[in-house]
Structure 1
Amino acid sequence: MADNANKLPKDAFEPLSDGSHLDNERIAAPSLTFLKDSWRRLKKNKAAMISMYIVIFFVVLAFGSQLIPSVSNIATHPNLNNLPPRIPGIDIPGFNGTLVQGGQRVNAYTGDAANVHYWLGSDYLGRDLLARTLSGTRISLIIAMVATFFDLTIGVTYGIISGWKGGRVDTIMQRIIEIMLSVPNLVVMILLLLLFKPGIGSIVLVLAFTGWINMARLVRAQTLELKSQEFVLAARSLGQKPWKIAFKHLLPNLSSVIIVNTMLTIPNAIFFEAFLSFIGIGVPAPAASLGTLISDGQKSFQYLPYQMWIPAIVLSLLMIAFNILGDGLRDAFDPRTRE
């Protein structure tokens, strides 16, 4: 009787169709590549995304303004000098073309300036500060792109060769870097001024001389770690040439380090150019850069503060945006980041 009580009825089991059990092992989530997963992580970082939009905005505005004659015109108009910002349709002090004279706020756009609108004001020669600020931003971004180019060519190549070869070759290459680091960039710039005129060319030469060193050291350290990994040893065992291993195996695994360091190199190059232009050994007049605009604006800061505030705010936004974006990319490319 006990055995009959423990028996299950015949209808307790139903036969399974062929292959129906495979659905239990199916992966429902879509597969993600490394770049897609990094982009997903980056989108969750609100500060990094806002910084990316700010960078895109300035890049489009700086380079796109060349196609608009009214914005790219930086001709001098001595009769329209030192005018405050005036934006059509806005009646807010500081943006309606008024300034304080003798304790009273008066309209500065009279006479020849009655039908003129300088959205960010004009400088001591009557040049449009909006056009000059966009031109200075464009020069700063171009120099940053040149610094990025040297990082991606000289720095990455030097670091991979040094880390891959190792031994005496690595020792000699690292001693060369230490010697170059012992010479400050400002000293290199002054020495170049003895041979060349101040300008973008001299700044580019300085960046070409020392700007790639940090990238080379980071890539070398990562290469030393990666070259002992199993996938590299397998490629060497199969007889692949070193240059093919570098491009096919090392570079994809170094991409996160390269991208993050590149994003942090850009603000350093922008600040370096602005510093040189501010002290008078960078981009010469009449060309405008953010450094020269800040230098010109600080001379009349007490009476016309907008001439300094505007380029200073643009420079600060670019520096902060690139740094926050670089930090966000570092977290996005780090697979150990906890979500």
Structure 2
Amino acid sequence: MADNSTDIKFKENSFKRIEQHNVDEQEKISAPSLTFFQDAVRRLKKNKAAVISLWLLALIVVFSIISIWWTPSDPNAQHVAYANLPPKIANGQIPGFTGKANVGGRIVDKYAQAKVPAGTYYVLGTDYLGRDLFSRLMKGIALSLLIGFLATLFDLVIGVPYGVVSGWKGGRVDTLMQRFIEIISSIPNLVIVILMLLLFTPGLGSIVVAMGITGWITMARLVRAETLTLKTQEYVLAARTLGESPFKIAMKHLIPNLSSTIIIQTMFSIPTAIFFEAFLSFIGIGIPAPNASLGTLLSDGQKTFRFLPYQMWYPAAAISIIMIAFNLLADGLRDAFDPKTQE
């Protein structure tokens, strides 16, 4: 069989000499040197939904902090003569904020009927007792966020040390600690909360403690699972060989490497606590009157939803935005801290 292939002839100009500076350029690392957290921040910035959620939550937190010292009016002050006024802004030319309502098939100016002084208006209207809904919403968001942060603090203070000790010790200690967790988790959260509210005066403290009793379990289990993996790593074994105490190993090696898991779980715990408080207040066993939280505002608004829907729309929108923003940010942080994430 004849070979029809032709010989390839190389000429002198077929090759190009590589100079020393070209070799240096090829071996040069073009990407900047980044730490783990710097790389996580870089990944997070690429997630537009997470970045928008972060800024939105920052604005909500600032909004809540301002409400500690200032609100348009006293959120608990009652003006029965101004009850159930619709939203109104300035001169009332913005649709939906005109201060007018449909009464008996006629559009009437509720502010004129109630003889509200000129220049006085309520941005989100008033409730059935004439309280400013905008001021109550500001206080409600602040109180709900405070409950969420305090309940999550229980997760960190109890769950992280519990998980680290359980995973580090192993053996019988780990078995006993996990059986204790299983006993607590077998009791429904709602039952524990109701018992706590019966034993103590209903309020912020009893709600936070009730949620904190069982809220740390998920954090403890996640930290324990990561600790079981980390304690077999070479740098941990080297530290143990050098005689480092377990406390120093935990602070220098375990906690920093657990930070991603802790941060992500914290972002999921905050909205869970906020929603649980809103549920308790909605069914009437949460924050007592006259204090406002998102749950109490929803509870008051649903009573008149058919006739005055705006009283429920605004707190419902607020809790929806907070829940969605926290979950989107948590998803973004999970992807940012996961080195396996494909870009």
Shared topology, TM-score over 0.5?
yes
How many Å separate the matches in 2 of 1:150 and 1:73? 29
Q: Distance in 1 between matches of 2:329 and 2:31?
A: 28
Q: 2:3 aligns to what?
A: none
* Residue 238 of structure 1, CA deviation: 1.2
* 1:334 is aligned to 2:332: no
Report how many aligned residue pairs link the two structures.
330
**For residue 138 of structure 1, what is the amino acid of its counterpart?**
A
Amino acid of the residue matched to residue 197 of structure 2?
Answer: L
Choose from 37, 43, 46 the match for 1:35.
37
1:161 and 2:177 aligned: no
Instruction: Give me the whole-angstrom Cα distance separating, in 2, the residues matched to 1:171 and 1:211.
Output: 20
Question: What is the CA distance between 1:20 and its match in structure 2?
Answer: 8.9
Matches of 1:49 and 1:266 in 2, distance apart?
18
1:117 CA displacement: 1.4
Given candidates 97, 102, 126, the residue that maps to 1:95 is 97
**1:65–1:72: 8 Å Cα contact kept in structure 2?**
no
Structure 1 position 35, deviation (Å): 0.9
Instruction: Provide Cα deviations, 1:281-315, integer angstroms capped at 9, x if missing partner.
Output: 11000100100110011111111100011101101
Structure 2: stretches of 5+ with no match in the other structure: 1-9
From 41, 65, 70, the equivalent of 1:68 is 70
Letter in 1 for 2:181: I
SS where residue 101 of structure 2 aligns? strand
Deviation string 1:221-270 (CA, Å, 9 cap, x unpaired) is: 11111111111111111111111111101111111110000000001000
List runs of 5+ in structure 1 lacking aligned partners. 1-5
Of 321, 324, 330, which residue of structure 2 is paired with 1:320? 324
- Aligned pairs for 1:130-145 (under 5 A) are 130-145=134-149
Cα deviations by residue, 1:187-211 (Å, 9 ceiling, x for unpaired): 1111112211111111111122111
Distance in 2 of aligned mates of 1:63 and 1:54: 14
Deviation track 1:57-109 (CA, whole Å, cap 9, x = no partner) reads 11111111333352565421111110011012552342111111111221111
CA separation of 1:317 and 1:72: change in aligned 2, threshold 3 A: farther
Whether 2:199 is the aligned partner of 1:231: answer no
> What residue in structure 2 maps to residue 81 of structure 1?
83
Q: Among residues 109, 115, 128, which one is paired with 2:111 in the alignment?
A: 109
Deviation at 1:184?
1.0
The answer to whether the 8 A contact 1:147-1:211 is kept is yes
**Is the 8 Å Cα contact of residues 121 and 129 (structure 1) preserved in structure 2?**
yes
Q: Residue 179 of structure 1 aligns with which residue?
A: 183
Structure 1 partner of 2:129: 125
CA distance, structure 2, for counterparts of residue 114 and residue 126 of structure 1: 17
* Aligned-pair identity (%): 60
Q: TM-score, normalised by structure 1?
A: 0.92
Q: Contact between 2:84 and 2:127, CA under 8 Å: does it hold in 1?
A: yes
TM-aligned CA deviation for residue 185 of structure 1? 1.3
C-alpha distance in 1 between matches for 2:23 and 2:96: 72
- Counterparts in 2 of 1:138 and 1:169: CA distance versus 1, 3 Å: same
Given that residues 215 and 261 in structure 1 are in contact (C-alpha distance below 8 angstroms), is that contact kept between their aligned partners in structure 2? yes
Question: What is the alpha-carbon distance in structure 1 between the residues aligned to residue 216 and residue 233 of structure 2?
Answer: 26
User: Match for residue 253 of structure 1?
Assistant: 257
SS at 1:70 equivalent = coil
The CA distance in 2 between the partners of 1:141 and 1:7, in whole Å, is: 76
Change (3 A) 1:72 1:37: farther
Contact 2:279 2:295 in 1 (8 A): yes
1:59 partner amino acid? V
Structure 1 residues 281, 7: closer, same or farther in 2, change over 3 A? closer
RMSD: 2.1
Matched residue, 1:44 = 46
